[in-house]
Chain A
Amino acid sequence: MPLWWPLLLAALLFAIGVYGVLARRNAVLVLMGVELMLNAVNLNLVAFDAYFRDVLHAGQTFALFTIVIAAAEIGLALAIVLMVFRTHGHVEVDRLRSLADESAHTPAPEAAAPGAAAGREANR
């Protein structure tokens, strides 16, 4: 098997993950794109481990470490997504434009929330 097969697969998965991160609006779907990119990196690591036959097994060990980091990242990201949902009522990343908690100062920060919620209810 040529070495470039797994490398090409990893490159394609990484590109798909980049598209997911850039184009999706829902924060959870953005996280799925990040997971795809991390998996592409894992595939590269494992492929080069098999190619070099490393006696230290660096590739597979680093793949395991990447999986652990991805698990930590997804746990933190879930907490952040839930907090954003609590404070804003939605998790659409292109509507999250301010870094501060404006709902503490202005009475009605969600001008578009009833319409969006109504659309969501209609689609249910």
Chain B
Amino acid sequence: MVPALFVLLGVVAVASALLVVTTRHLVHAALWLVVTLGAIAGCFLLLAAEFVAWVQVLIYVGAVVVLLLFALMLTRAPTGPQPDLTARRAAPAAIVAGLVGVLLAVTVVAGFRDVRLDLPGGEGAAGQGGSAVGSATATGEAVFTTWVLPFEVLSVLLLAALVGAIVLSRRGDGGLDRLDGPGGLDRLDRPGRLDRPRGLDRLDGPGGLDRLDRPGGLDRPGGLDRLEHPGGS
């Protein structure tokens, strides 16, 4: 039962991962990534790592994929099929990836061909007093006794990453204002806004962002109109 289920989940994971890296729809890639991560979470469950499986569902499927979708939408990713999502160097990339895969697969199969994996979380193992392997109790005890120092270091790393993300995307150093300000997104979505030659230059060119960052530039009435018609208003 467990081996059959594992093979099924593995086939689903590999197939959807292939779709992630080959699909022509940007949003579909993120959604296929959900399928891949869910199948891997199922594999964790079968490998007696229950808590890791639920953390995988919460953080990967819940947070990381949503962040990726946010990134796709904030970069105005088109929803239709894109013919040029894969670079011209796809063939050498496939050769390199195939070599990596064959090398790793041959190595692990040759090294562990005769090793059986007796899953510790089988029937009846959990009910014997002590906490089952992979449960939240066992994992929590391990994290907060043996691995408590790496855990604290990791919390500092998370804090540093948070500070870094805020510093990179804060207002004032180059214009989240453009998207966050009143009418910012509408201006970008207006048809013909980007098709016009040098349309991007007005925002990206010299003085484009500075005009937005100037104190009072957006707050003054008519501030946005001045941006739409430079020199007018």
Contact = CB atoms under 8 A, between A and B. Distances in A.
Nearest to B160: A72
B134 A60 contact: yes
Contact of B87 (A23, A42, A85, A123): A23
A28 B75 contact: yes
B120 A22 contact: no
Interface residues of B, number: 107
Contacts of B134: 57, 60
A28 B105 contact: no
A26 to B, nearest CB: 6
A82 B74 contact: yes
Interface in A43-99: 43, 46-47, 49-51, 53, 56-58, 60-61, 63-65, 67-83, 85-91, 94
A75 B151 CA distance: 19
Nearest to B32: A32
B168 to A, nearest CB: 4
The prevalent SS among residues of B at the interface is helix
Contacts of A20: 20-21
Contacts of A83: 168-169, 174
A79 to B, nearest CB: 4
Contact of A1 (B101, B116, B158): B116
Interface residues of A, number: 88
Contacts of A57: 133-134, 138-139, 142, 146
Contact of B49 (A46, A72, A103, A113): A46
A8 B108 contact: yes
Interface in B10-41: 10, 13-14, 17-18, 20-21, 26, 29-30, 33, 36-37, 40
A28 B20 CA distance: 12
Interface string B115-156: 111011000000000000110001100110011001100100
B164 A63 contact: no
Interface string A16-30: 111110111110110
A28 B80 CA distance: 16
Interface string A92-124: 001000000001100111100110011011011
Interface string B82-93: 101111011011
Contacts of A88: 204
B93 A22 contact: yes
Given A11-B108, A79-B168, A123-B78, A25 B52 contact: no
22 contacts: A6-B10, A13-B13, A15-B101, A17-B21, A19-B97, A22-B89, A22-B93, A26-B26, A28-B75, A36-B20, A36-B21, A46-B43, A46-B52, A57-B142, A67-B55, A68-B59, A70-B59, A76-B165, A83-B174, A85-B74, A110-B204, A123-B82
Interface of A: 1-20, 22-26, 28-29, 31-33, 35-36, 39, 42-43, 46-47, 49-51, 53, 56-58, 60-61, 63-65, 67-83, 85-91, 94, 103-104, 107-110, 113-114, 117-118, 120-121, 123-124
